Copies of this chain bind each other. A is one copy, B any other.
Amino acid sequence: METLKGALIFGQSGGPSSVINSSAAGVFIEALKHKDVITNVYGAAHGIKGILDEQFYDIGAEDIKELELLKNTPSSALGSVRYKLKGADVDETDYKRLLEVFKKYNIRYFLYNGGNDSMDTCNKVSKYMQQSGYECRVMGVPKTIDNDLFGTDHCPGYGSAAKYVATSIMELKLDSTVYNTGMVCVVEVMGRNAGWLTAAAQLASYKGLGADLIYLPETPFDIDEFLQSVKDVCAKNDNKCMVVVSEGIKTKDGTYVGEFTASKTDLFGHAQLGGVGAMLANLVKEKLGVKTRAIEFSLLQRCAAHLASKVDVEEAFACGAKAVEAAVSGVTDKMVCLVRKPGKDYVCTPELMDVALAANTEKKIPESWILPAGKGLTQDYVDYALPLIQGDCKAPLEDGLPRFAHLKKVLVK
């Protein structure tokens, strides 16, 4: 295999996570080791948009200490973007522009960090460069708190978000049951189509401080059954009940329960503003006459780097580094995936799979892991998820607060 000499550009795409910057650190720190092959290391501002706009940072100008701190800095340090490339057959404009920029800066390595859509971007860009006869190695680095990426045992970002959800549910369970009066607490967790993150509430149940009811988008949601279940739990439990619900729960006919809230009238014609959690809390209050509280984890669940999983931080870093190693060694059109060895002990290594396979496919929770009527998940899920939330790993404290990375962000001229 011939050595391909040129610049490397890396971009971050889609919703950030607690460890997306750990993958960036893995890419950057590894890339800077290959100075004989990788002439320049660039970070694209706001993903693919930064390449189109020629807005990218010279990572070689950064202090290595700050790049190390990226491991524990939440959110996308380079800025993120939601931008779906059209097919080149529909509109070639963006592709022509990308080729132009790649040529101008002799970019020969394109690494992109994200979920399904980002893998689709990798795939499309690589195909176009090949057709144009421009040699360029393209690698996908997986990321999503949703854990819905096909072909990898799990996604970097999921373990930390799951640890946040499980820990917070345990803490909320203690807090929300503190008075000698009834209280139904409805917690809303992210996840439009796959319930992986909501499922993490089961880990709290496993520790004896969990939700009483868990609702995932994978199972049709029935309002009457829900109200009956809450009623049953309340009857057994001093009118106390904790419900954890995915933002993406749908009724039998496929309508998002939260869509009623978006249209500002709920299932019962009431004016609404909050999310599906607020709507269900309000419904319980009205129908069962018990005090309720709705809590939405919102952005907190994807940026709480102070509660990151050590396993997750390290795997995210390893995925970034692996992508660079593979590309330098001649590989292209792959996504790094995590492969778990069968057996009782958790051993998981970054491997490679075709990026085209990961593009645009969603991985949902196996049906057999989901118990009916909001009763949570089986031990299979706990066995799957528990290794992913192990260990703490967070930014050093300065004045009692996290010392996150400060990048210089020197724009390439």
Binding site for B on A (CB under 8 A): 16, 45-46, 49, 73-76, 79-82, 163, 166-168, 170-172, 174-180, 185, 203-204, 206-207, 209, 264, 271-274, 278, 282, 293, 295-296, 298-300, 302-307, 309, 386, 389-392, 397-402, 404
Contacts and interface: CB of A to CB of B under 8 A. Distances in A.
B397 A392 contact: yes
Contacts of A79: 178-180
Given A209-B404, A273-B274, 10 more contacts: A75-B178, A163-B400, A167-B402, A172-B299, A203-B401, A274-B274, A293-B299, A386-B399, A389-B399, A392-B397
Nearest to A397: B392
20 contacts: A16-B175, A79-B180, A80-B178, A163-B400, A170-B402, A171-B300, A171-B402, A172-B299, A175-B299, A175-B303, A264-B271, A293-B299, A295-B296, A295-B299, A386-B400, A389-B399, A389-B400, A389-B401, A390-B400, A391-B397
Contact of A295 (B82, B171, B179, B298): B298
B271 A178 contact: no
B16 A304 contact: no
- Identical chains in the assembly: 2
Contact of A306 (B16, B171, B293): B171
A77 to B, nearest CB: 8
Contacts of A176: 299
Contacts of A204: 401
B179 A81 contact: yes
Contacts of A302: 175
A389 B397 CA distance: 11
A55 to B, nearest CB: 9
A303 to B, nearest CB: 4
Contacts of A309: 400
A303 B73 CA distance: 23
A177 B78 CA distance: 11
A18 to B, nearest CB: 8
A166 B401 CA distance: 8
Given A73-B174, A274-B278, A300 B168 contact: yes
Nearest to A209: B404
B303 A174 contact: yes
A167 B306 contact: yes
A392 B399 CA distance: 11
A170 B209 CA distance: 29
